[in-house]
Amino acid sequence: MRGHRYRVTIEHLGGPHEDAAVQPPLCFEAVNHDEILGIVARLRSSGVYQPDEAASLGIGLKLFAEVMLKRRDDPLFAELRPAIRAFIGGLKERGRAAAG
């Protein structure tokens, strides 16, 4: 598969209650047509989001959007496609304005 390859690891550090069981880490590989780390760096440098928020937003959005793109014929995503496209456009515009 063509694209940028990533290994994603998420580690559970604890729950809302002291006695919550900590889950083992989840690790998986993903391919994305965009360079996600560069997107996160731009979101962070925009100053609009806290660094961890920028990482969560950039990574989550790009991973989700790539699945949606790969499954473009899946009716589950049909209603979301225009909204996600508009959201990403607005996010890019906000970044350009912040870089300004």
Helix (H) or strand (E) holding 88: helix 80-99
Instruction: Give this prediction's pTM.
Output: 0.88
Residue 8: CATH number of its domain? 3.10.20.850
Helix (H) or strand (E) holding 97: helix 80-99
Q: What is the pLDDT of residues 10-37, one digit of tens each?
A: 999 988 888 888 899 999 999 999 999 9
Report residue 36 as tokens: 């996600």
Domain of 63, in residue numbers: 4-99
Confidence category of residue 52, pLDDT binned at 50, 70, 90: very high
Q: How many domains does the chain have?
A: 1
Angle at which helices 36-45 and 51-70 cross, to 10°: 140
Distance CA 24, CA 91 (A): 33
